[in-house]
Each structure stands twice: as structure tokens, then as C-alpha cells.
Amino acid sequence: MTDRPSAPVRVLLVDDDPLVRTGLRLMLRGATDLEVVGEVADGTGVVDAVSRLLPDVVLMDVRMPYLDGIAATRALSARGDGAPAVIVLTTFGDDVNVVAALRAGAAGFLLKHAGPDEIVDAVRRSARGEPVLSPTVTRTLIDRLTTGPVENTRSAEARKRMSTLSRREREVAAAVAEGLANSEIAERLYMSVSSVKVHISSALTRLDLSNRIQLAILAHDAADH
């Protein structure tokens, strides 16, 4: 008996610019394992579209006129385990909004001018539950995020949450906040790469976080400045 082919990854496009949506649709059309199941022009229609179309991945613009991508991402994250993975679409110089979207539960981000191969790969990875953020991107985001002081209330809350982790989990989280790759964390902490992955996964579960960039931001907020 032959294996049945797996169902294609269902993708919802959310952007107020019809040209951007057309471009994304054309890019994704060439991948036989991906299927664009719908398009939405504003964040106000995202929750309803997700309920009707059941996408696995949402490509979400940050800046939209009525309900922005951050609020729409937050609304999807509130759905719990049934929520699709959200990839934020952004432009250069939009780091503050990117971090806000990642705090809201986005799985990662892509530049709007990314190439077709990069976009297709990002959709596939996010559908598998992998964050669409390289360690270099993580380091850049954290560097830009940390140019100003952390609010006292946010810092105190972050320290309280981090205190629920084991010592080893906190050490790994601090290394993630520096933008280190798993192999670099393993070398620094004298651990195997597989152990690093286990500690990151357990920290995410304990803290009810979606991805490693959220862990990095929380660890940064909890650190002394």
C-alpha cells in the first residue's frame, strides 16, 4: 500500500495592498505543497477568515488602516492551540512593530521584498512549528530593542516569570537573548545541542510562549540594566 500524499499547507494572505497580495499569491503558487486559501485586506477580517478557511499559516502585514497586524495576531493567539502560525510581513526600519508582533505571538517575520524561495521556505518551516528567525536576526532585533531602558513594571513581571524556570533553563534563555545559535549555547554551557533544544522547549512550555524570540525578549526584560 502506498502512502497517501500529505495535504498542502493552507495559507491566508493578510495585507491592505492588493499588489502585495497578488505578488505573494504568485510566489506561493509555484510550490505544490502550499495552497493559498484566502485573502484579507484588513485585520478586522482575520479572525473570521481563520475560522472559515482554517489556514495553517497566516502571512500578516503589520501596518493596516483599521486593525493592524499586531492586534490581529494577538486575537489569533488568544485562540490557543488551534491558532495558525503567523508570519509578520514588514519593511526595513520597522523593528518596534516587529517586536510588538512577536510579543503578541507571531512565529517570525519576513521582509516584504524577500525572494520567492525564502518566503516558501518560511511558510513550510512555520507550518512545522519552527520559528522563522535566524540567530542573526534575533541578535539584531534584541540589539535594537534594548537601546532604551526597560520599564520597571515590565522588568519586574519578567523576573517573576523567569524565576519559575530551572537554573539551567534560565542560563539557556539568557544565551538565546544574546542571539546565540544552539551550537554556540551548547559550547558555552558545556551541553549537547539536543540538551539545549530540550531546555528551550521546556522553558517555552513553562512560560507559555510560542517561540524563541519571545523567550529572548522576556530574558532581556528580566536582566538587570
d(CA 51, CA 80): 13
Three-state secondary structure of 131-190: CECCHHHHHHHHHHHCCCCCCHHHHHHHHHHHCCCCHHHHHHHHHHHCCCCHHHHHHHHC
What is the C-alpha radius of gyration for the chain, rounded to an integer number of angstroms? Answer: 18
Tell me what the mean pLDDT of segment 179-208 comes to: 90
The pLDDT value given to residue 62: 87
Q: Answer whether 0.85 is exceeded by the pTM.
A: no
Question: Do the beta carbons of residue 39 and residue 13 sit within 8 Å?
Answer: yes
d(CA 29, CA 22): 10
pLDDT at 146 over 70: no
Of 70-79, 109-118, 129-138, 143-152, where does mean pLDDT reach its minimum? Answer: 143-152
pLDDT at 28 over 70: yes
The pLDDT value given to residue 148: 55
* Adjacent-strand bridge partners of 11: 36, 57
d(CA 196, CA 190): 10
d(CA 152, CA 149): 9
The pLDDT value given to residue 112: 78
Which residues have a Cβ under 8 Å from the Cβ of 145 and sit 6 or more positions away? 95, 99, 217, 220
- pLDDT tens digits, one per residue of 163-180: 999 999 999 999 988 878
Tell me what the mean pLDDT of segment 62-66 comes to: 87
Question: Do the beta carbons of residue 36 and residue 55 sit within 8 Å?
Answer: no
Average pLDDT, the chain: 83
CB atoms within 10 A of CB 160: 10
The pLDDT value given to residue 1: 45
- pLDDT tens digits, one per residue of 196-224: 999 999 998 899 887 777 788 888 888 76
Tell me what the mean pLDDT of segment 147-165 comes to: 79
Check residue 105 and give left, alpha or beta (phi > 0: left; psi -120 to 50: alpha).
Answer: left
147 Cα distance to chain centroid: 22
Task: Choose between 154 and 3: higher pLDDT.
Answer: 154
pLDDT at 150 over 70: no
